[in-house]
Structure 1
Amino acid sequence: MGFVEYEAEGAVGVITINRPQALNALNSQVLDDLDAVLGAVDTAAVRCLVLTGAGDKSFVAGADIGEMSTLTKAEGEAFGKKGNDIFLKIESFPIPVIAAINGFALGGGNELAMSCDIRICSDNAVFGQPEAGLGITPGFGGTQRLARLVGAGMAKQLVYTARNIKADEAYRIGLVNSVYTQEELLPAAKKMAAVIASNAPIAVRGCKKAINDGLQVSIEEGVVIEEKLFGDCFESYDQQEGMANFLRKKDDPAKVKHVEFKNR
């Protein structure tokens, strides 16, 4: 679909930003295409997504500066809202999303990665929020998610200085979970996605919602969110069969069988 490709491999979906001639930079068309692809994902069949960029140089090099350079104040705010609306959709997407960051993740690219649940990267990845050097602030959630992920002090340092960091430093500060070679990255992301997809989808979705919603409230309110989602799992096929299989294993390991979770 235009600049964004999608392929389902069993219970794992792979979304690829495909604008390599511009290092996969985000313009309005790329954002629209990404929004459309997300809307077309069959979340009844696909249980985890991998998001990556085409080629071996760039995940997403940033928002398209050529497009942004002539925007008015109102148009700039509208462009920020377009990106934020789509990134919020990724953040709250029913199923987990893994960012496989295969090169540059600058500005909007870093913001896109941060909207995903899990970030892993190649050893040539470069991260940064260069906006202050361009006369603007981050506009797609960079000031908000970066501080939540790496702490306010480190986020302010990266945003104020507009400097880039390499994969090893991104790992050190907790921006990414792990670092792979370029060749290992996508297979590792797909393998992690397959493990997630093999677990009970009702539970995985509930865990995502509990963590995301709980981070926005006090611990007292957060545990109430968890209690509700915990309770919602009971009387489902997934809960009954998952626990029955555990008890079979405890009683007689020979009776253990592979559980095909059904999201009901």
Structure 2
Amino acid sequence: MNNDLTRLMETLENIKVEYNDGIALVIMNRPKALNALNNKTLNELEIVFEQLNECKEVRGIVITGEGKAFVAGADILQMQSYKSEEGRDYAGYAQSVFNKIEAIDKPVIAAVNGYALGGGCELAMCCDLRIASEKAIFGQPEVKLGVIPCFGGTQRLTRLVGAGRAKDLIYTARQIKPDEALSMGLVNRVTTEEALIAEAKSCMKMIIENAPIAIKYAKLVINKGTDLDLMNALELEKDAAGLAFATEDKQEGMNAFIEKRKPVFKCR
């Protein structure tokens, strides 16, 4: 791992980062506060993902939580005194951090180990995939506090599960277990608590065995295409395909297939 990332890890208070075989494990580390997202934690999260995006050794990222929560939400003690402008600014900052995570060139998996409520559910939703422990709990309880999901929840939840289910979860503020989250498309897989990190890393290893530039372009087209009409989204797909065909990795992948060997991708 590069020196900048190593030095950064030594300064973090609310997040831990571990690295092995191309995969960075980001651990939300405020267990006494159920990993609630205050300004400092959001700032550390932003800096960590900026550094991980720049680190060539890191091919994929798994994010999870220390203790019994993934992230139990935003920090209510911090928000309690906020008025209109402060609340809007806080929402805007959190959205900008989550947007960066969603847009990062590398695949990101949320390994949801426990409570993923409010901002925690929103953090999981900005990741590419969500793998949940059997003990995970999902929900958007903001209306019980007199506010609304505002770290991207009203939009990402709707895009993942549809408007009807999103309104159900947001309006009722109810909490759901992994089986229901799986059935509605909020999570991709459910596993045991003991196997969660191993399952997430196994999934990531399968991903990063493939051409990294192709993964990057596929992620870009999927994310951007969601907000376009079909014809423009297909144009975007075609453009990205052209860029992928120009890479050395494309030639290596096709040569390896024809020669019946495992490809060696060099990210160029």
Q: TM-score range by the shorter chain?
A: over 0.9
SS in 2 for 1:179: strand
Query: What is the match of residue 144 of structure 1?
Result: 155
* 2:146 equivalent to 1:135: yes
Q: Give unpaired runs (5+ residues) of structure 2.
A: 1-11
Match of 1:97 in 2: 108
Superposed CA offset, 1:144-195 (max 9, x none): 0000000000100110111111111111111001111110000000111111
User: What do residues 116-146 of structure 1 show as CA deviations (whole Å, max 9, x unaligned)?
Assistant: 0000100011110000011001110110000
1:71 aligns with: 82
- 1:43 CA displacement: 4.2
1:191-230 aligned within 5 A:
191-230=202-241
1:85, distance to aligned residue in structure 2 (A): 0.2
CA distance in 2: counterparts of 1:77 and 1:35, whole angstroms? 19
Aligned to 2:91: 80
Q: TM-score, normalised by structure 2?
A: 0.94
Structure 2 Cα separation of the partners of residues 180 and 134 of structure 1 = 31
Q: How far apart in 1 are the matches of 2:92 and 2:33?
A: 22
Structure 1 counterpart of 2:62, from 29, 50, 56: 50
SS, match of residue 18 in structure 2: strand
Query: Partner of 1:114 in structure 2?
Result: 125
State the shift of 1:201 in Å.
Answer: 0.3
Q: Which moved more, 1:76-85 or 1:4-13?
A: 4-13
For residue 3 of structure 2, what is the aligned residue in structure 1?
A: none
What is residue 252 of structure 1 aligned with on the other side? none
Aligned residues: 256
Task: Normalising by structure 1, report the TM-score.
Answer: 0.95
1:26–1:60 Cα contact (<8 Å) kept: yes
Distance in 1, matches of 2:107 and 2:26, equals 13
Letter paired with 1:244: N
Kindly, what percent of the aligned residue pairs are identical?
Answer: 48
Distance in 2 separating the partners of 1:146 and 1:90 = 16
Amino acid paired to 2:66: A
Q: Does 1:263 align with 2:267?
A: yes
Render the CA deviation track for 1:40-61: whole Å, top value 9, x for unaligned.
1144221111011112x11000
The 2-side partners of 1:262 and 1:45 are apart by 12
Counterparts of 1:152-191 in structure 2 under 5 Å?
152-191=163-202
RMSD across aligned positions (CA): 0.9
Contact 1:95 1:204 (8 Å CA) reproduced: yes
Give the superposition deviation at 1:235: 3.1
Partner of 1:242: 253
